[in-house]
Amino acid sequence: MARLAEKVAIITGGASGLGAATAQRFVEEGCRVMIADLNAETAASVSKKLGDNCSWCCVDHRDRNSAATMIESTISRWGRVDILYNNAGVPFAGSIETVTDEVLDRVFGNNLLGPYRMTQAALPALKESAQRNSDGAVILFTGSLQALKGRPNFTPYTASKHGIIGLVKGLALELAPHNIRVNAICPAATDTPMLKHFLPGMSKDINVAKKRFRESIPLGRLPEPTDTANAAVFLASPEAGMITGIALPVDGGATAY
């Protein structure tokens, strides 16, 4: 039996990278998926590729009205929301000395405040799902290896992702009585379109930067998007029914140092 059969999930930032890979894996496991993304053209393309069990909505997760409209659209389409995966975020690499208020607002708005507001918008639907279903409901967040440790030249990004772990731990305790599990997935630098934005923080030479990222991982390779997607399938499934409040590294052993 498919591990997410008959479930309904929302994936923010679902039109590319980790989000698109997770949308595909969720559909493969029997889930119906709403892709929430600012890029309407790409979201529509991914949704069409994944078939009738996938739809899309153009959403800015930083905006409460936009988030609420997306929740309403999902319920209108499939009747409920069982899984919210707060995946959308933005990168940052550079010296803290040159960071402007505009950049700070963008990084924290997308990486921390947006997931917070999206979660608030989805909570009534998730609570209703958890009351009807013994498996409960699930909230996932994309953290980062930088949510668990630090690295120079990524400080605003690191701070925003550390905030996600605080959010996960607080929500896990607050929502446990409602049968809602809350977890984060923390991948190392992954081979997605976003990777190029992180490379300057390691070296001005792209090849050197990739080599340094790779050498920091004991398994000797960068994660693929499917590595995170597979972790998301597990954490969203009843198999993880006793797991809440964790930040799961998908890092090839990098946090074992």
Q: For residue 106, tell me if it sits in a domain.
A: yes
Mean pLDDT, range 181-198, rounded to an integer: 79
Q: Is residue 255 part of a domain?
A: no
Residues recognised as catalytic: 157
CATH number at residue 122: 3.40.50.720
CB 109 within 8 A of CB 217: no
pLDDT score recorded for residue 202: 60
Residue 142 lies in a domain: yes
Express the helix, strand and coil content of the chain in percent, nearest 5 each.
55, 15, 35
Please say whether the beta carbons of 71 and 107 come within 8 A: no
Q: Is residue 205 part of a domain?
A: no
Q: Is pLDDT larger for residue 210 or for residue 64?
A: 64
> Is residue 91 in some structural domain?
yes
Residue that is written with structure tokens 């600012």 in the block = 38
List Cβ neighbours of 231 (8 Å cut-off, separation of 6 or more). Answer: 185, 248, 250
Q: Which backbone phi and psi does 143 adopt, to 5 degrees?
A: -90, -125
Query: Could you read off the pLDDT of 121-178 as tens digits, one per residue?
Result: 999 999 999 999 999 999 999 998 889 988 888 899 999 999 999 999 999 999 999 9
- Domain total in the chain: 1
Tell me if 233 is assigned to some domain.
yes
Q: Any idea which of 40-54, 143-157, 208-222 has the lowest mean pLDDT?
A: 208-222
Query: In whole numbers, what is the pLDDT of the chain averaged over residues?
Result: 92
pTM (two decimals): 0.93
* Full residue range of the structural domain in which residue 75 is found: 8-191+224-249
- Checking if the pLDDT of 224 tops 60, the result is yes
User: Is 185 among the domain residues?
Assistant: yes
Q: Is residue 214 part of a domain?
A: no
d(CA 162, CA 78): 33
